[in-house]
Amino acid sequence: MTTAAVRPPLERPRLAVLGGVCAGLAAHLLWPVRTVRILFGALVLLSGAGILLYVWLWALTPLERPVDAPAPVSRRVPVAAVLVTAAATAVFVELGAALSSREPVTVAAVAAAIVFSGGSVAWSLVFDAADPTRSIRYGVFVRTAATFLLLFAGLVGLLSRSTAASAVLSMLAIILAVAVLGAPRLVTLWTSLLAERAARVRQDQRAEIAAHLHDSVLQTLALIQTRAGSASEVARIARAQERELRDWLFADDVPSETDVAAELREIAAAIELDYSVRIDVVTTGVAVPTVSAALVGAAREAMLNAARHAGGDVAVYVESTAARIDVFIRDRGPGVDLATLPDDRLGIRESIVGRMTRAGGTATVRAGEGGGTEVHLGLERTDD
């Protein structure tokens, strides 16, 4: 066994302790995580170099790509709560400093309280809001606590015999407290506004493209079809192109679940590519999931027969209700007579009639009024 280990790319895992920097770095360097953590801890002691390096790596290392669905990022350390605790400590220090009139300590403590409370609120709004392991209640608690701490820090700073610096900082703390109260609302408003604008721009662009193509390319394709005659190669290609373009232009963004009608339409499109035939599929009723492979298979065989032996225009009509599905395939060919059909024509006898009978449905083939053949497939729907 060769041990030419391939280095995994430098990525931060989605389930992280704090930022996932250590775990990601360890995985990339093929070192134990503990070693990396100790190294960072040691670096922190070098006048905070570890923190700088950590933040730098955090900012520049990409998140691990999700395997299938976009997965949320979870962090194990409750950073917001830690920051609130730090803010509370700063407020206590401030209170003590204010009572003993140590002015520089008061200023520093107010500043610390502002930074820690603001940090906790920012963390709670930016990171915890997207983290499913953090409850909404936790976020509310963090923000409420931060608001109170800010207010308290501000009032203490103002009421103590304050210098200009501490008065300004205290006012700032009070203003921030008010802002924090309104912050969640503003953030949600802002993000939903951005999302909505992006969606609208996308939709507008799409509509514009659709309108343009509709006015130019589709018209040309329609013209080619009429001028080239429905049976010719050119018309066939033009029709296939038209169908493809139309599907793209008018299809909804959400993929529709496969139903019988959509499936038959697809089959018709495929047959049109191979034979000089125009198949018009008209569907009515409710969309039903593909209940029976036999029905679709028999309909396909009937359409193929029509394409092979009749060509020209073929009409397919699908009517589906909650109780049953009926499919009619009508062509304008020379027509067939089941009684005079040679036994070796397996198509109709086996693939259509036999198949439907085995599936518990009916299939009738008859000469249409005014020439051509009409195949009628019927199937009662049984819900299982």
Partner 1 sequence: MTSVLLVDDHSIFRSGLRSDLDAALEVLGEAATVDEAVALIEALRPEVVLLDVHLPGGSGGGGAEVIARSASLLGTVRFLALSVSDSAEDVVGVIRAGARGYITKGSSGAQVSAAVLAVADGDAVFSPRLAGFVLDAFGAVAGERAETSEELDRLSVREQEVMRLIARGFSYKEVAAELFISVKTVETHVSAVLRKLQLSSRHELTVWAQQRKLL
Q: Which residues bind partner 1 (CB under 8 A)?
A: 214-215, 218-220, 222-223, 225-227, 229-230, 239, 242, 246, 250, 278, 280, 282-286, 313-315, 317, 319-321, 328, 330, 368-370, 374
Nearest to 310 by CA among 266, 276, 284: 276
- Are 97 and 106 contacting, i.e. CB atoms less than 8 angstroms apart? yes
What tokens does 220 get? 């040309």
**What one-character DSSP code corresponds to residue 369?**
T
Alpha-carbon distance of 239 to 233, in angstroms, equals 10
DSSP secondary structure string, 225-262?
Answer: HHHH-TTSHHHHHHHHHHHHHHHHHH--SSPPPPBHHH
Q: How far is the CB of 195 from partner 1 (least distance, A)?
A: 24
Q: How far is the CB of 261 from partner 1 (least distance, A)?
A: 10
Q: How far is the CB of 375 from partner 1 (least distance, A)?
A: 11
Alpha-carbon distance of 69 to 71, in angstroms, equals 6
Q: How far is the CB of 365 from partner 1 (least distance, A)?
A: 14
Of 4 and 250, nearer to partner 1 (C-beta) is 250
Alpha-carbon distance of 272 to 371, in angstroms, equals 22
Of 109 and 318, nearer to partner 1 (C-beta) is 318
Of 197 and 366, nearer to partner 1 (C-beta) is 366
Of 179 and 315, nearer to partner 1 (C-beta) is 315
Crossing angle of helices 164-213 and 103-126, in 10° steps, is 20
Q: How far is the CB of 282 from partner 1 (least distance, A)?
A: 4
- Are 258 and 351 contacting, i.e. CB atoms less than 8 angstroms apart? no
What tokens does 14 get? 């989605």
* Residue 146 one-letter amino acid: A
Of 223 and 346, nearer to partner 1 (C-beta) is 223
Q: How far is the CB of 263 from partner 1 (least distance, A)?
A: 15
Of 164 and 254, nearer to partner 1 (C-beta) is 254
